[in-house]
Structure 1
Amino acid sequence: MASQLTLSFHRDRFTWLAYGSLGFYAFLQAAIGPTLPYLREELGLNYTIGGLHITLFAAGIILASLTSAELAQRIGRNRLFWGGSLGMSFGALLFISAQAAILTLLGSFLMGYLGSYVLVMVQSTLSDRHQQYRTIALTESQITASGLATLSPLVLALGASTFLSWRLVYAIGIVLCFLLFITNITTPIPPSKPRKRKKAPQYTADTIVSTATDDEEATLPRIFWLIWLVIGIGVAVEWSIVAWTADYLANAHHLPQEQASGMVSVFLAAMVTGRFIGSRLTRHMRSENVLWIAAGLTSIGFIVLILASGGILPILGLLICGLGVANLFPMGQAIASEIGAELSDITSGYVSLASGCAMLIAPQILGALADVIGIESAFQMIIVLLIGYVLMYSIAQYLRR
């Protein structure tokens, strides 16, 4: 059955475009956190204002998530897809050229808002294009995203050590976007499914039945919203680590800022490996079970990281943690996409909304806490999110029996 599934999965030109576009988005998104130490030093910002760049990026994700399904119906996926790509590049250009915090904040918001239309369109179109093989397509797209996200802090650290500065990573992202645009402008993008007023699908055994009637539009079942919360908490864990690990390592282990920022790549490289392993596991295991393994690895790795006194242990903690965090989002996304398969644009928008809410709240709260209790104590509060994740997923799994 596993080999049959693999043979039936075909990557067409659009699939590769979707993978590359999500990689472009992730490349710029992953640069925001490691950029903050340089930006704070350059513009004289505190932790709270620095973290606000991530908050506004997340606010952009939320706005795009709430409007993407309607815009896809109105202007079409093709215009929304390419408009989002080029718009994110414009936001990146503003971010690196600005010399005032108000403009860098605006650039960060535009990257999050316009770029997230790409994120939502990639998720929904891959789900529609590959149907029962959507878990493979979505997981592979996340592997590509993780691969480019891993390179992002390395390129940033390289640029920061030369006359090119930290801005190099954003310049490369802009070039990547235009290369994708020039080479794929004629690639057909699957259109949105027309929204029809119909009875919502009746889920049995594994889900809670929707209460929609024949006179209502199809709606998502209640179990979807529990998985939505699980996805949100998982993203909060991931982005809290991405945003503040460099500062945590620099303060807790007295590392040079360039070295601390570069070590974030250990976490991101582990995520690439973890998602590759996860994509293989889904051929033999249910996504729900892979998610349990991911949660366990994340918890173990984070505990090793915060208890490490130095040496190789922080790297080991980041490695294990990255292997686990890698599959929190893609497995949750696959479960949510399966539940909401008939409403792909709406489902994808809500999944992105969960990500945006998590990015909006968690890193900013940790940044504010760091200004009060110090970055070391604030960073350790991520353990509370991990406990909440396990509890919420346990409840969701119990209700799906």
Structure 2
Amino acid sequence: MSDTPTQQATNARRAVSYFFTLLGTASGAWAARIPAVKHDLGLSDGQLSYGLLAIAAGLVIGMRFAGRLTDRLGSARLLTPAAVATSLALIPPGYAPTLPLLITALFLYGLINASLDVAMNAHGVEVERAYRRPIMSSFHGMYSVGGLIGAGIGGLFAWLDLSAGTTLAATGIPLALISLYARRHLLPTPHPTTRPTTPPTRARWSGWIVLMGVVAFAGLVGEGAAVDWTAVYLFEDLHAPQGIAALGFAVFSTAMTVGRFAGDRLALHLGPVRLVRYSGLIAALGLATALLIGQIPVAITGFALFGLGLATIVPQVFSAAGNHDPARAGEAIAQVATVGYAGLVAGPAIIGGAAEIIGLPGALAIPTLLAAFMAASAGALRPRTRTLS
């Protein structure tokens, strides 16, 4: 059989890439306007944290339903409505007049966001099967690109002194409209007689699913630590100027984006097990070097290696989850994501709490050890059956 993808598969890959970009753009635009929302409502840091936790709560609760909904309807049927709803749900937080309404709006955004996240990853697995080679990492790379686009939009609107609500509306409405166009390029939902049916009972949390969730958790703790603590480490512990300190996360983020676009080719040549093993070791080595040597140029280089190492791990975990049981791909991805995304929520708090006790360099040893754990757990990604040639 030819390894050349059909035109239908190629079009579907472009469509799924758009949906990943959409979610990244929405997240980036919201993140860029958080300071404006905080200022407009006169919120303290603690009050703002309630709103941010509301997104996480909505996401975790939404995951309980998103996977089963994806498996029952088919990822193609759910993906576009979820994308349109997520795009439009981005807007209300920008206009919320009070903290309770902001919390409500952000909870709903997280709840709807879960369906888009699961559906686009599940459809990405289907497109990957049609391609007969790894392409999942590039989808997550497009999410990273979307984050940069969203941050740029947010920064531009802030520079123009336009409100957060205007920013989010100008972002969400076009994203929703483009989603309606992109839906025609998705792979068709199999006929009910050929599509595996989902049993009426919920899928059980197998030991393998829990392990994959923990691996994703470990990777996302590392991402959260890089977002919140790289600049702080460079500024406070290595006494870098603020402009140089800001390079820490910029270099990490750039390296992660580059790594994700290189990840598919690496997965094809190395296989998911060796790729995750080597990636975990590179991430652990990079962050350990940044902490142990304690010189600014070395630390920045170490953060780049940390980003390169983490780049491919979560995409490989999601791909493995979606292929583990194709009849339950949505639920498997949702279960892994439920555990994994807790890392983004708990990670900064874990690092911050540990830093109070043992100092920030010691606390950052936690994601270093977690990266080594991911390398040690790579064997679990070995596929049960060969789904890719």
Shorter chain as normaliser: what TM range? 0.7 to 0.9
Q: 1:357 aligns to what?
A: 342
Give secondary structure in 2 for the equivalent of 1:286: helix
Q: Match of 2:134, SS?
A: helix
Residue 275 of structure 1 aligns with which residue?
Answer: 260
TM-superposed CA distance for 1:117, in Å, is 1.0
Question: Structure 1 residues 81, 171: closer, same or farther in 2, change over 3 A?
Answer: same
Which residue in 1 is equivalent to 2:222? 237
Residue 111 of structure 1 deviates from its aligned partner by: 2.6
The superposition leaves residues 92-146 of structure 1 with CA deviations (integer Å, 9 ceiling, x where unpaired) of: 2122223433333333323322122111111112223442747623222112112
Which residue is equivalent to 2:386?
none
Query: Paired residue for 1:385, among 336, 350, 367?
Result: 367
Classify 1:32/1:292 alpha carbon distance in 2 versus 1 (closer, same or farther; 3 Å). Answer: farther
Contact 2:71 2:329 in 1 (8 A): no
Q: Which of residues 88, 91, 96 is equivalent to 2:89? A: 91
Q: Offset at 1:20? A: 0.5
2:90 match: secondary structure: helix
User: Aligned in 2, Cα 1:294/1:398: closer, same or farther, shift over 3 Å?
Assistant: closer
Structure 1 residues 38 and 127, CA, compared in 2 at 3 Å: closer, same or farther?
same
**Aligned mates of 1:328, 1:27 — CA distance in 2:** 22
Go from structure 1 to structure 2 and tell me whether the alpha carbon gap of 1:282 and 1:85 turns closer, same or farther (over 3 Å shift). same
Distance 1:217 1:50 in 2: 35
Quote the offset at 1:334 in angstroms.
2.5
Correspondence list, 1:2-401, <5 A = 5=3, 7-8=4-5, 11-31=9-29, 36=34, 39-40=37-38, 43-72=41-70, 77-78=75-76, 80-131=78-129, 133=131, 136-164=134-162, 170-171=168-169, 173-188=171-186, 190-191=188-189, 193-195=195-197, 222-245=207-230, 264-306=249-291, 312-313=297-298, 315-366=300-351, 369=353, 373=356, 377=359, 381-391=363-373, 393-395=375-377, 397=379
Deviations 1:14-50 (Å, cap 9, x if unpaired)? 3211110111112223455565556555555454444
Percent identity of the aligned residues?
A: 20
Answer whether contact 1:151 1:265 (CA < 8 A) is retained.
Answer: no
Aligned equivalents of 1:162 and 1:377: distance in 2? Answer: 40
In structure 2, C-alpha distance between the alignment counterparts of 1:36 and 1:28, rounded to whole Å: 12
Cα separation, partners in 2 of 1:314 and 1:55, compared to 1, 3 Å: farther
Structure 1 pair 91–132 and aligned structure 2 pair: CA distance change class (3 A)? closer
Distance (Å, rounded) in 1 between the aligned partners of 2:293 and 2:108: 38
In 1, Cα distance between equivalents of 2:198 and 2:212: 25
Alpha-carbon distance in structure 2 between the residues aligned to 1:387 and 1:181? 40
SS at match of 2:270: coil
Q: Distance in 2 between matches of 1:328 and 1:87?
A: 29
Alpha-carbon distance in 1 for matches of 2:207, 2:178: 38
Contact 2:273 2:381 in 1 (8 A): no
From the superposition, tell whether residues 158 and 135 of structure 1 become closer, same or farther in structure 2 (CA, over 3 Å). Answer: farther
The amino acid that maps onto 1:383 is A
| Contact 1:28–1:169 (CA under 8 A) maintained in structure 2 | no
Counterpart of 1:387, as a letter, is L
Residue 82 of structure 1, CA deviation: 2.7
Residues 8 and 65 of structure 1: CA distance in aligned 2, closer, same or farther (over 3 Å): same
- Whether contact under 8 Å (2:272, 2:382) holds in the other structure is no
**Which stretch shifts more, 129-138 or 86-95?**
129-138
Q: Do 2:33 and 2:154's aligned partners in 1 also have CA atoms closer than 8 Å? A: yes
Q: Which stretch shows the higher mean deviation, 63-72 or 217-226?
A: 217-226
CA offsets, 1:190-234, max 9 Å, x none?
437442559xxxxxxxxxxxxxxxxx9986753333222111221
Q: List runs of 5+ in structure 2 lacking aligned partners.
A: 384-389
CA distance 1:309–1:163, shift in 2 (3 Å): farther
CA distance in 1, matches of 2:36, 2:148: 19
Supply the AA of the counterpart residue of 2:339.
A
Over 3 Å counting, the alpha-carbon distance change for 1:166 and 1:256 in structure 2 is farther
Displacement of 1:56 in angstroms is: 2.5
- The count of residues paired between Structure 1 and Structure 2 equals 377
Please name the residue that 2:387 is paired with.
none
Secondary structure in structure 1 of the residue aligned to 2:124: helix
Asked if 1 retains the 8 angstrom alpha-carbon contact of 2:196 and 2:327, the reply is no
Deviations 1:291-333 (A, max 9, x none): 1222123223334555686754554343222212211211222
Give the superposition deviation at 1:164: 3.5
CA distance in 2 between partners of 1:385 and 1:263 (Å): 16
Q: Which amino acid aligns with 1:373?
A: E
C-alpha change, 1:396 and 1:96, in structure 2 (3 Å) is same
Q: Is the 8 A contact 2:144 2:257 kept in 1?
A: yes
Q: How far is 1:275 from its partner?
A: 0.9
**Distance in 1 separating the partners of 2:81 and 2:309:** 33
Give me the CA root mean square deviation: 3.9
Letter in 2 for 1:60: G
Which has the larger displacement, 240-249 or 345-354? 240-249
Partners of 1:162 and 1:254 in 2: CA distance: 31
Distance change >3 Å, CA 383–CA 155, structure 1 → 2: farther
